[in-house]
Each structure stands twice: as structure tokens, then as C-alpha cells.
Structure 1
Amino acid sequence: MEARALWLLLLVLALGSSGWAQEYIGLSASQCVVPPKDRVDCGYPQITERDCNNRGCCFDSRTPGVPWCFKPLQETECTF
């Protein structure tokens, strides 16, 4: 599990430094790193990026045939 988290962190850092990462209001960039096959639709046909983000969802139109407006990953808080 720790290796998976490390790879996700490296992916987010790489996307952020390359300019591919998008800004999401109220969401961290890591919450919107969802593989296209795992996206859960959060919008409607022809939704704009702004309307999608206003719903608290992520928007990425680079992959055809999958939801462009999708639910973010849920951040978990560890408590001991």
C-alpha cells in the first residue's frame, strides 16, 4: 500500500511540474488523478469545466469515451 501511495505522489509531482495538472477549486490535485477507466460520472452531457468544478467534481477532457466530469478521490484522514 505504501508503494502505491508513493507512485501516486510521484505521478502528481510529475504532472504538476510538467504543466499538465489542472487547478481544481476546493480539491487537491491528487484527488483528481483518477484513471479514465475508474472515473465515476459527476456531470451531464456538454457540461462545462466551470459547472463541473462548481459541483465539486474534477474535469479532464483529454480522453474521449470516458466521463470528463467525474467524482474526485476521497481523501482519508488517519487518526490514532
Structure 2
Amino acid sequence: MEGRALWLLATVLTLVSSSPSGQYVGLSESQCAIQATDRVDCGYPEVTSEQCKSRGCCFDSSIPGVPWCFKPLQNTECTF
């Protein structure tokens, strides 16, 4: 049983470490491509990238003076 648990842990760590950093969790890049002036705050002061993304929000700290953790664009595509 212990060997099986170690194998599972190693597999999970490999998958996590191989995922590209900076990707949006459950979001496409286009959903987070929002003009800085149009960002709607989704976080709180000193929120980390990981905390923000776990809330289903986008994170971009490259522009000072605007929300770094912000709501993504919603899919507006209609399907019938």
C-alpha cells in the first residue's frame, strides 16, 4: 500500500510540475484578455496569483494601478 501511495504522489507531482506556469485555471487566454481600464476587481488586497486563479479569476500584475485579480470575460456564444 505504501508503494502505491508513493507512486500516486510522484505521478501527481509530475503532472503539476509539467503544467505551464501562468496558465489560467479553467479559463482561456482570450477570456482574460481584457483592457486594463475595463477590469472588474475579483480579489482582495495582496491576493496571490494562485489564490486569484482558484477563485476562477484572471491574474495579471504587469500593469500598476489597476486590479491585478479580475473577472474574466464571459462566454456569450449562444447554443440552441
Question: Runs of 4+ in structure 1 displaced over 6 angstroms?
Answer: none
Matched residue, 2:66 = 66
Aligned-residue identity in percent? 68
* Normalised TM-score (structure 2): 0.70
**2:41 aligned partner, one-letter code:** D
* Normalised TM-score (structure 1): 0.70
- Listed as ranges, the matches of 1:1-80 within 5 Å are 22-80=22-80
Distance 1:77 1:35 in 2: 20
Query: 1:79, CA displacement in angstroms?
Result: 2.8
Q: Name structure 2 gaps, 5 residues minimum.
A: 1-21
| RMSD (Å), alpha carbons | 1.0
Larger Rg: 2
Report how many aligned residue pairs link the two structures: 59
Query: 1:78, CA displacement in angstroms?
Result: 2.2
1:16-41 CA distances to partner (integer Å, 9 max, x unpaired)? xxxxxx41010011000010000000
Distance 2:37 2:56 in 1: 20
